[in-house]
Structure 1
C-alpha cells in the first residue's frame, strides 16, 4: 500500500519546506523568550517565599516585629 500515489510538485515541496522552517523558527523564538524570563520569575518566587516565611514566623511569635525599647 502506498501512502501517496503521486509525487509532490516542486512548488508543493517548497511550500512544505517553508511551513516547516517557519514552525521551527517560531518554536525557537518562543524558547528564547521563555528562557529570557526565567531568572526574573525565580527572583520573584524567592522574594514571595521570604515574605511568607517572615509572616508565618511573626504569626507564631517566633520573631517580634518591634524590639523592646530600653
Structure 2
C-alpha cells in the first residue's frame, strides 16, 4: 500500500501523493479500456477515496467519477 510507505519529511509525503496521482491515472485508463463504464466507476470510487493524495486532486477525481456515473446512469 502506498499509505504504508514511511514519510519522515514533506518530500516523502510529496512523493507519496505523486505516486497516488499516477496510480489513479493508470487505474482509470485500465478500467476505461475494459469498456464497461458503469463497472469501472463502481470499482474505482472506493480506491480513489483511499489513496493518499492532496484533497483538491481527490475531489477532482471523485467529481470526474460522479460525472461518468451520472452519464452512464442516464444512458440506461
Q: TM-score, normalised by structure 1?
A: 0.40
Structure (1/2) with the larger helix percentage: 2
Q: Which has the higher contact order (CA 8 A, sep 6+)?
A: 2
Indicate the structure (1 or 2) with the bigger Cα radius of gyration: 1
Q: TM-score, normalised by structure 2?
A: 0.37
